[in-house]
Structure 1
Amino acid sequence: MVKVSKLFGVVVLIWISVSLWRSYKNNYISKQQLMEQLKRKTSFISNKDRNKIHLNQQINSNNQDINSTQKQETFQYVCDKTGTFNGYEKTNRVEDLVIYSEMPKCGSGTLVDIFQQTARRATRKHLPTYHTGYTYPVPHEELYQWNKRLNYANGIFEETPPYLFLGHLRFLDFKEVGHKQPVFIDLVRDPINRTISAYHYGRKPQFNERANMTKAETKMSMDECFERLLNETGCVGARDLNKCLHGKKLTACKSSGIVERMTTWFSGYGSEVSVNKAKSNIDKYYLIIGVTEYYTESLVAFGTLIPPVFNMNPTTLVETYKTISNRNVGRNVKQPSAKTKAILRNILSEEYELYQFILQRFLKQMKCMEIPLRSGK
């Protein structure tokens, strides 16, 4: 009886051990299954959800790239309330020599008048101010020669300081010819509006005779001009107008107005002419480039940044502007069609890239100097 009891106890013990082992095994499998389920929920949810996650990651990545590009292209610079960017080279400057390089057909004639009238008024009141002198014509072709640039720069430095140079001068690197860099300023305009203005301005008698225009050609609208231009070059319907027109003689309109000049203007007289070269020169050497679409604000900026001891402050410049008429403004200028403007936009693609760069730089500068902006002039 005792043996039977012992045997029964052993059987019970074995049964309990087996039950415990099975329970542990089942629980272990459940944990593994649970971990797999969790993995599937977090990492391999479903193809549809996985695609959503991948798309969101792509969007976030693209947004980061866009933000990074914007910061690098437009908002990479830091400026304080003086309006000076950290990329602007302040050292080795001649502060009492200001070069207004006068990009054509951007309201430059009016700005020249404003500067000259302001200086004259200060002189009459026996106040210190800039000496000014208008230089015309600027020998652009000659200035591609180093010795000609040197002689030209020497002539400017011979002027009595403080001196404000006024004239259609492309960027001239004074350091390259052994001088310290002066203070550069300029004014730019929306490329299509500038081109329309230049087109009609070039049809005035003093210019159309130089271009040997017939009477009919002087009265030709921009729409007619572009129709002839595309027909003569065989570029009607071309997807890439810049590529199609490249290297071809654009004689249909007999006008110098339809050209990309902003890139050339700010690249200067060196061998490299490109958007990047123009941007680099602007960053390093231009204290301020105003925008015609914000004309009054540009005057305030000029007056703020140009040393006020010479009486070119915001108040005097704006007050002078109120007393003079806008110069060289076309009357009853017929606007081209939307089709022609679209063609122009294509042709002036590099011009617009540089214009947008200058515009964003200008707007950033206005914000730094806390100058309020209005729409229009």
Structure 2
Amino acid sequence: MMKLLQSTGEMSALEPQQLNNTKKAQHDVVFFNRVPKVGSQTLMELLRRLSIRNDFGFHQDRVQRVETIRLAPEDQAALSAMVSSYEPPSVYIKHVCFTNVSSFGLPEPIYINLVRDPVERVISWYYYVRAPWYYVERKIAFPDLPLPDPKWLKKDFEQCVLSGDRECRYIRGEVREGIGDHRRQSMFFCGHHMDCLPFNTAGALERAKRAVEENYAVVGVLEEMNTTLTVLEHYIPRFFKGASDIYFNEINRFNPINKNNFKPPVSEEIKEMVRKNFTKEIEFYEFCKQRLHKQYLALKLNEKKP
């Protein structure tokens, strides 16, 4: 973690308030525009339990037949108005690209999210949408939905990559609309702009980084949940006080959420092949991880001050 900072002077200049966008919020509402397959179900359950302990409103989007993560300007405005309508303190949770609420003349909420190693995440997503229980849940919610092709359900990720199947070809600059573009997490930070559509491009990456830096209070990292919870507890205490206690003693200990036992292991060789096409996604993940480390280190340095 220390290697991320260039000098002792830079370390000593770190202050939690300098790295905390919570102070920019004009409305005591947490907006969690959750990325799929990064542990967001677990964080959602954590927030639900914390809402009882810490006395705040808990709101989440309903299950949708077709989930749209990119919105037209009028739908962004409607979403922003809804987020602003919740009585503070509250949280609102939805799978959606970053929506700049203040750009519609409404008070800025507190933005949070999670990220995960992008290749591990895309593998997780691949098998998640093929899990039997996923389709049972979908059928219960929407009985008229047709069942998928059994050949598609049985398709192995490694063979999908090796055969050059379109589903597992991650081509720079390619544009896919709809649910197929859940392959990348940076889109959930980049926003609704057309520049966010092409896969693995510098323009989309820079927009995503800028949103994190300027708007998000905390972007946690699934692989570093202890650090993530510590930062959330200190940077957004009104909502996350006691988060580590609930997570480690209740949720993670007894009830791992959304674990897919149907996901087979994928070889490191295949993962490395995929990584070559995920350069911007990996850079974005490392950027978020470095920012989280800085926030954590600022807390530790502040604790040591006389």
**2:256 is matched with which residue?**
326
The verdict on how the C-alpha distance between 1:172 and 1:111 changes in structure 2, with shifts beyond 3 A counting, is same
The within-5 A match list for 1:34-113 is: 79-80=14-15, 82=16, 84-85=18-19, 88=21, 90-91=23-24, 93-113=25-45
Q: Secondary structure at the match of 1:229?
A: coil
**2:106 is matched with which residue?**
179
Deviation at 1:270, TM superposition (A): 2.6
The verdict on how the C-alpha distance between 1:211 and 1:352 changes in structure 2, with shifts beyond 3 A counting, is farther
CA deviation digits over 1:64-86, x for unaligned, max 9?
xxx9x986xxx899641x36428
The within-5 A match list for 1:1-377 is: 79-80=14-15, 82=16, 84-85=18-19, 88=21, 90-91=23-24, 93-120=25-52, 122=53, 128-137=54-63, 141=68, 144-205=71-132, 206-207=134-135, 213-229=148-164, 242-243=171-172, 247=174, 256=180, 259=183, 261-273=184-196, 274-308=204-238, 310=239, 312-318=241-247, 319-322=249-252, 324-331=254-261, 333-370=263-300
Counterparts of 1:355 and 1:102, CA distance in 2: 15
Q: Secondary structure at the match of 1:133?
A: strand
Counterparts of 1:79 and 1:186, CA distance in 2: 22
Give the aligned residue type for 2:152.
E
The verdict on how the C-alpha distance between 1:369 and 1:320 changes in structure 2, with shifts beyond 3 A counting, is farther
Give the aligned residue type for 1:190.
D
Structure showing greater radius of gyration is 1
Counterparts of 1:364 and 1:356, CA distance in 2: 12
Give the aligned residue type for 2:268.
A
Counterparts of 2:71 and 2:11, CA distance in 1: 32
In the superposition, the TM-score normalised over structure 1's length comes to: 0.64
The answer on whether the counterparts of 2:29 and 2:88 sit within 8 Å (CA) in structure 1 is yes
CA deviation digits over 1:218-249, x for unaligned, max 9?
1221111112325x79x8xxxxx735xx5598
The verdict on how the C-alpha distance between 1:106 and 1:141 changes in structure 2, with shifts beyond 3 A counting, is closer
Counterparts of 2:175 and 2:218, CA distance in 1: 36
The answer on whether the counterparts of 2:116 and 2:223 sit within 8 Å (CA) in structure 1 is yes
Percent of aligned positions that are identical? 20
The answer on whether the counterparts of 1:100 and 1:166 sit within 8 Å (CA) in structure 2 is yes
In the superposition, the TM-score normalised over structure 2's length comes to: 0.77
The answer on whether the counterparts of 1:171 and 1:267 sit within 8 Å (CA) in structure 2 is yes
Q: What is the aligned length? A: 277
The verdict on how the C-alpha distance between 1:115 and 1:142 changes in structure 2, with shifts beyond 3 A counting, is closer
Cα RMSD after superposing both structures: 3.5
The answer on whether the counterparts of 1:98 and 1:183 sit within 8 Å (CA) in structure 2 is yes
**2:304 is matched with which residue?**
none
Q: Secondary structure at the match of 2:275?
A: helix
Gaps of 5+ in 2: 140-144, 197-203, 302-306
Counterparts of 2:160 and 2:36, CA distance in 1: 21
Deviation at 1:214, TM superposition (A): 2.5
